[in-house]
Structure 1
Amino acid sequence: MLKTGIYVDAENIKMSGGYGMRYDVLVDLANSGHSVMLRANCYLAEDRERTKRDQEYRHKVYAYHDILRQCGFKIIKKYVRRYQDEDGNVTTKANADMDLAIDALLQARNLDRVILLTGDGDFIRLVIALQNMGCRVEVIGFRNVSHELKEVADAYFSGYLIPGLLPIHQNGSVQNDEWQRGTVTSFHPDRGFGFFRYYHMVDGVLIPQTVFFHLSQSSLDGDYHFQDSSQIFEFRVINNPANDNRSEARDIRLVREN
């Protein structure tokens, strides 16, 4: 069994498109196939001054922490510090990068696989160090992910494409399993059709799937969107009775660049 550790740079993830991420899905990934989760650390910031004076904020923060603990995560807090310059401008800082790096290096001696959630290029040297210790390092990010970080990792996954990790919402409600996120694998502009790739997660293992789509099922203007494989789309997968019940993508909408 591969002994796996998860390390979440929570503030980076939250500010880069991952707000509302499901931590239980991460646990499923870590416990997939021939892997078992040995460590799960989440590094986050807390405004201690606000926690003391704002009851609503305190309730939300502690409820969030309780959910993480129930999923099996250890919480490592970095308290917000405020600094005032000569002009009276106040800046805040709560960076847990050093804590994450040191913990990962110390704990990697007992790990075979590390899942690192961040887009911060400052972790490139950490990834290399973990690899030199014999660990496989997989990076998961959302927006603004360092290109160099993607390249140095043993594998990179967009958090948008991992089923259930970031729920799909519409009109304020979470969508059902018909809705998927995927990227274009091929597109034929002259005929207006192409194929999306998306993933199912079975017992914590990501299984790639391919589905046909036609430009007429998109609300987007023009076909140039489908030429870029870095774009992420949301769509419903349905069986079309007019085409021998074959799967097709419908209600296609652009989410963002991968």
Structure 2
Amino acid sequence: MLKTAIYVDAENIKMSGGYGMRYDVLVDLANNTNSVMLRANCYLAEDHERTQRDAEYRQKVYSYHNILRQCGFKIIKKYVRRFKDEDGNITTKANADMDLAIDALLQARNLDRIILLTGDGDFLRLIIALQNMGCRVEVIGFHNVNKELREVADSYISGFLVPGLLPIAGSYGENGDKWQRGTVANFNQDRGFGFFRYYRLLNNVLQPETVFFHLSKSTLASDHFFQEPHRIFEFRVVENPANNNRSEAWDIRLLKEG
């Protein structure tokens, strides 16, 4: 049984497309037949001055914190600090990177597997250090993920591809077909078809799947999007009655960025 911990760089995730992420899905990923979650830490910023004077902001922040705690996360806060330069311009800072790194290194001696949510390249050395301690490090990010971070991790997956982690609006089509997110596994430009790779959660384990697609089922005006392996698409997986009920991707669209 793998002893697992989750570390979430919440501010980076929020600013990189992961706003509204479902923390309970992360817990499911950590708890399965081969893994048990020992720790779950979320590192976030709080504007303490605003919390004191703005009741609406305070209610929103504390409700969010309560949801995380109910999911089993320990919250590590970094309070926003304000600095004024010579011209009177005010800048703010609330960086919890050091806290996350120190906690992960201290706790890694009791862990086998670490799920790290960030896209920040500053964690590159941390990942290598954790691997040298014998831990498997799996990185989940959204937009603007550092290239070296993706490469050095034992595994990397876009958070958009983890089923339910960032739910798709209108998750089911008119016929009950479920929307999925995936990337192009291969594409035959001359013949206008290819295969998407997407994931299902089976017993809380990510299982890769592939599904056929044809450009005739795309909402996009050009096929050049399908030649970029990191593009993320949304589509419905349907059984095509005209093709022996083979599963196919229909209503293909690009994931909206930003």
Matching residue's letter, 1:175: S
| Aligned residue number for residue 27 of structure 2 | 27
Q: Could you report, residue by residue, the CA deviation over 1:131-176 in whole angstroms, capped at 9, with x for unpaired residues?
A: 111111111111111111111111111111111111112xxxx413
Matched residue type, 1:255 = L
Query: Residue 145 of structure 1 aligns to a residue in which SS?
Result: coil
Alpha-carbon separation, structure 2, partners of 1:73 and 1:52: 24
Deviation at 1:246, TM superposition (A): 1.1
Structure-to-structure mapping, 1:1-258, within 5 angstroms: 1-169=1-169, 174-176=170-172, 178-255=178-255
CA distance in 2, matches of 1:229, 1:69: 37
Identity of aligned residues (%): 78
**Aligned-pair distance for 1:195?**
0.9
Aligned residues: 253
How far off is 1:26 after superposition? 0.4
TM-score by length of 1: 0.95
Q: Which amino acid aligns with 2:194?
A: G
Which of 236-245 and 98-107 deviates more?
236-245
Q: C-alpha separation between the residues in 1 aligned to 2:30 and 2:113?
A: 9
Q: Secondary structure, in 3 states, of the residue corresponding to 1:138?
A: strand
**Amino acid in the other structure paired with 2:171:** Q
Q: Is the 8 A contact 1:161 1:182 kept in 2?
A: yes
Between the aligned partners of 2:211 and 2:136, the Cα distance in structure 1 is 31
Structure 2 segments unaligned to the other structure (5+ residues): none
Secondary structure of 1:109's counterpart equals: helix
Give the whole-Å Cα distance in 1 for the aligned partners of 2:199 and 2:216: 23
SS in 2 for 1:180: strand
Q: Distance in 1 between matches of 2:66 and 2:218?
A: 41
User: Matches of 1:54 and 1:175 in 2, distance apart?
Assistant: 35
Inter-partner Cα distance in structure 2 for 1:162 and 1:10? 17
Aligned equivalents of 1:110, 1:130: Cα separation in 2 = 11
Give per-residue Cα distances to partners, 1:187-222, cap 9 Å, x unaligned.
112221111110000111011111111111111112
Tell me, in whole angstroms, the C-alpha distance in 1 between the residues paired with 2:33 and 2:254. 32
Q: 1:256, CA displacement in angstroms? A: 6.0
Letter in 1 for 2:155: A
Unaligned stretches of 5+ residues in structure 1:
none
Is the partner of 1:231 in helix, strand or coil? Answer: coil
Answer whether contact 1:10 1:43 (CA < 8 A) is retained: yes
- Measured against aligned partners, the alpha-carbon deviations of 1:17-52 in whole angstroms (never above 9, x if no partner) come to 111110001001101231000000000000111111
Q: Which amino acid aligns with 2:151?
A: E
Distance between the aligned counterparts of 1:251 and 1:50, measured in 2?
Answer: 44
Q: Secondary structure at the match of 2:56?
A: helix
Residues 231, 256 of structure 1: 8 Å contact kept: no
Q: Contact 1:48–1:79 at 8 Å: present in 2 too?
A: yes
How far apart are the structure 1 equivalents of 2:3 and 2:48?
Answer: 35
Larger CA deviation: 80-89 vs 248-257: 248-257
Question: Alpha carbon RMSD of aligned pairs, Å?
Answer: 1.2
In 1, Cα distance between equivalents of 2:127 and 2:187: 35
SS state at 1:165 partner: coil
List, as ranges, runs of 4+ consecutive aligned residues in structure 1 with deviation greater than 3 Å: none
